[in-house]
């Protein structure tokens, strides 16, 4: 439900005004049993938004309010950013809930004027990046993410949805400002000497070499063009390991504010890259290969392909769907794009503005340098060789060759 119960226009919440808002909403929706005693804490650790955790000390029940700021939190007011991203995020969660309800948080309420989404509290879950850094393993993760990807992509593509509906939906998910962030921070700035970049002095020579690599830049340019132009499906747009909540059994995908109609391989590529960034960090720390994470990547891709093929067989929206070779062609191009996007993500997390704790938290400088160089080398390999990396086994082998 989207309503505004505010009488004023947008104001960033404080912990006090967040409580006042929920108390008012509680009278309308009966969120907490009466009487209630609400407490609130701002817990956001992402780059862009406020996240308030509200709990009722009497019933023990809780919820989350996520609020967009009119700028990027990590940079400040000098980087203005549309509040409309809150609406896009809430609608993307609701859209995903139509096909993968168990894999996203429940949206309870939205308010476009205040740019907020009130949603299920997942505090019992762990952010996947943190869990992986702590050495936890998640046996269901690959199956869940593979299923999430297959269902969200297939059902929003012309193979699972009629073209007229797709055109309507894609207007709602036009997301130029957030796409521009990705176009710049993932696909452009890390390949040039740009002032948004942020890398350690000890990487200067390696980065200078990368900036001179014309073959790499040509292939990165082609991948950027694919990102700019290929409107295949409604994608999450930022599916890194900080956008996934996990328990030993369950998985929930959060934070789809970058959602838009884009290339179907983008989410898969980002997910693979971020799992590999953790593998790269572990390899640098204890010099061992980490087969359980490779297994997660293998399962993600295998389940994605299996589920996608099942959906393909059972849906008949497109006349050519039974044509021999068509589904394998589609899956082949999605995987090829995903490998290239994974390469760009590996590189941007080392050279670009937004880093990952998996690598930055390696305290030993030599080991951190080794991890950073491995990520850059693997990223370059994926980008340049993506047409020859046809299977997930080949991708794992390329990774092992770089990390050996
Ligand atoms: N539904 C939720 N339940 C519990 N904690 C959440 C929830 N959503 C977000 N958080 C917390 O807030 C943090 C930032 O959320 P995120 O959606 O990634 O924000 P941003 O868009 O700023 O990156 C997460 O890492 C997590 O700790
Ligand atoms: C200035 S935005 C940088 C970076 O942050 C986003 O991630 P998150 O919202 O999860 O913090 C996205 O990956 C952007 O590229």
Residue 311 Cα to ligand 2 middle (Å): 32
Average pLDDT on 249-258 reads 98
Q: Read off the pTM.
A: 0.97
Q: Which ligand is nearest to the CA of 244?
A: 1
Residue having the nearest C-alpha atom to atom 3 of ligand 2: 354
User: What are the pLDDT digits (tens) for 105-124?
Assistant: 999 999 999 999 999 999 99
| Ligand 2 geometric centre to CA of 381 (Å) | 24
Same domain, 85 and 180: no
Ligand 2 atom showing the smallest separation from residue 74 Cα: 1
Question: 19 CA to middle of ligand 1, Å?
Answer: 18
Residues 195 and 55 in one domain: no
Residue nearest ligand 2's atom 2 by CA: 47
- 188, 116: one domain: no
Q: For position 50, which CATH number holds?
A: 3.30.200.20
Residue 107 and residue 179 in one domain: no
For atom 7 of ligand 2, the residue with the nearest CA is: 47
- Ligand sitting nearest the alpha carbon of 51: 1
- What is the count of structural domains for the chain? 2
Q: Look up the domain containing 362 and give its range.
A: 126-403
Q: Tell me the pLDDT tens digit for each residue of 2-21.
A: 555 555 689 999 999 999 99
Could you tell me the distance, in angstroms and rounded to a whole number, from the CA of residue 342 to the centre of ligand 2? 16
- pLDDT bracket for residue 157 (50, 70, 90): very high
Question: How many Å separate Cα 143 from the centre of its chain?
Answer: 17
Q: In this structure, is residue 212 part of a structural domain?
A: yes
Determine, yes or no, domain membership for 5. no
Question: What's the CA-to-centroid distance between 242 and ligand 1, angstroms?
Answer: 8
How many other C-beta atoms are found inside a 10 Å radius of the C-beta of residue 47? 14
Residue with tokens 């593998």: 279
- Residue 364 labeled ligand binder: no
217 vs 292, residue with greater confidence: 217
Within this chain, do residues 31 and 163 fall inside the same structural domain, yes or no? no
Q: What is the per-residue pLDDT for 168?
A: 96
Q: Which ligand is nearest to the CA of 355?
A: 2
Residue % of the chain over a pLDDT of 70: 97
Tell whether the model's pLDDT for residue 291 goes beyond 80. Answer: no
**Residue 289 binned pLDDT confidence (cut-offs 50, 70, 90):** low
Q: Are residues 235 and 344 in the same domain?
A: yes
Q: Mind spelling out the 3-state secondary structure of the chain?
A: CECCCCCCCCCCCCHHHHHHHHHHHHHHHCCCCCCCCEEEEECCCCCCEEEEEEEECCCCCEEEEEEECCEECCCEEEEECCCHHHHHHHHHHHHHHHHCHHHCCCEEEEECCCCEEEEECCCCCEEHHHHHHCCCCCCCHHHHHHHHHHHHHHHHCCCCCCHHHHHHHHHHCCCHHHHHHHHHHCCCHHHCCCCCCCCCHHHHHHHHHHHHCHHHHHHHHHHHHHHHHCCCEEECCCCCHHHEEECCCCEEECCCCCCEEECCCHHHHHHHHHHHHHHHHHHHHHCCCCHHHHHHHHHHHHHHHHHHHHHHHHCCCCCCCCCCCHHHHHHHHHHHHHHHHHHHHHHHHHHCCCCCHHHHCCCCHHHHHHHHHHHHHHHHHHHHHHHHCCCHHHHHHHHHHHHC
For residue 358, is it within any domain? yes
For residue 7, what pLDDT is reported?
Answer: 52
> pLDDT tens, 348-396?
999 999 999 999 999 999 999 999 999 999 999 999 999 999 999 999 9
Are both 58 and 160 inside the same structural domain?
no
Query: Do 278 and 395 reside in the same domain of the chain?
Result: yes
Q: Are residues 78 and 133 in the same domain?
A: no
**Co-location of 227 and 81 in the same domain:** no
Q: At residue 216, does pLDDT exceed 60?
A: yes
In a domain, 101, yes or no: yes
What CATH number has the domain bearing residue 374?
3.90.1200.10
């Amino acid at each position: 439900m989207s309503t505004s119960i505010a009488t004023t226009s947008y104001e960033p919440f404080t912990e006090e005004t967040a409580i006042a808002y929920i108390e008012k909403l509680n009278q309308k929706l009966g969120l907490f049993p009466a009487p209630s005693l609400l407490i609130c804490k701002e817990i956001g650790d992402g780059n862009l938004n406020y996240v308030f955790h509200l709990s009722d000390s009497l019933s023990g029940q809780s919820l989350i309010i996520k609020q967009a700021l009119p700028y990027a939190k990590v940079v400040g007011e000098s980087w203005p950013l549309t509040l409309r991203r809150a609406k896009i995020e809430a609608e993307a969660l609701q859209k995903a809930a139509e096909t993968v309800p168990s894999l996203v948080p429940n949206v309870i309420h939205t308010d476009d004027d205040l740019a907020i989404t009130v949603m299920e509290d997942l505090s019992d879950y762990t952010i996947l990046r943190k869990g992986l850094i702590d050495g936890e393993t998640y046996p269901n993760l690959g199956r869940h993410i593979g299923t999430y990807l297959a269902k969200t992509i297939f059902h929003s593509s012309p193979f699972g949805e009629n073209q007229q509906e797709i055109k309507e939906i894609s207007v709602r998910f036009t997301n130029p400002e957030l796409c521009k962030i990705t176009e710049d921070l993932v696909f452009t700035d890390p390949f040039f000497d740009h002032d948004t970049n942020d890398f350690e002095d000890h990487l200067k020579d390696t980065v200078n070499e990368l900036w001179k690599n014309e073959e790499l830049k040509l292939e990165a340019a082609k991948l950027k063009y694919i990102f700019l132009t290929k409107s295949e499906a409604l994608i999450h747009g930022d599916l890194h390991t900080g956008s996934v909540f996990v328990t030993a059994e369950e998985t929930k995908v959060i934070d789809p504010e970058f959602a838009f109609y884009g290339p179907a391989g983008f989410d898969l590529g980002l997910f693979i890259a971020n799992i590999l960034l953790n593998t790269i960090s572990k390899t640098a720390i204890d010099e061992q290969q980490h087969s359980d994470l490779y297994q997660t990547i293998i399962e993600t891709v295998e389940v994605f392909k299996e589920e996608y093929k099942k959906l393909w067989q059972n849906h008949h929206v497109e006349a050519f769907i039974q044509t021999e070779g068509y589904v394998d062609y589609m899956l082949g191009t999605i995987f090829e794009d995903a490998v290239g996007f994974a390469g760009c993500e590996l590189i941007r997390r080392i050279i670009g503005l937004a880093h990952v704790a998996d690598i930055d938290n390696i305290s030993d400088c030599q080991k951190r340098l080794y991890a950073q160089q491995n990520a850059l080398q693997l990223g370059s390999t994926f980008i340049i060789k993506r047409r020859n990396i046809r299977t997930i086994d080949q991708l794992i082998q390329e990774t092992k060759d770089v990390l050996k």
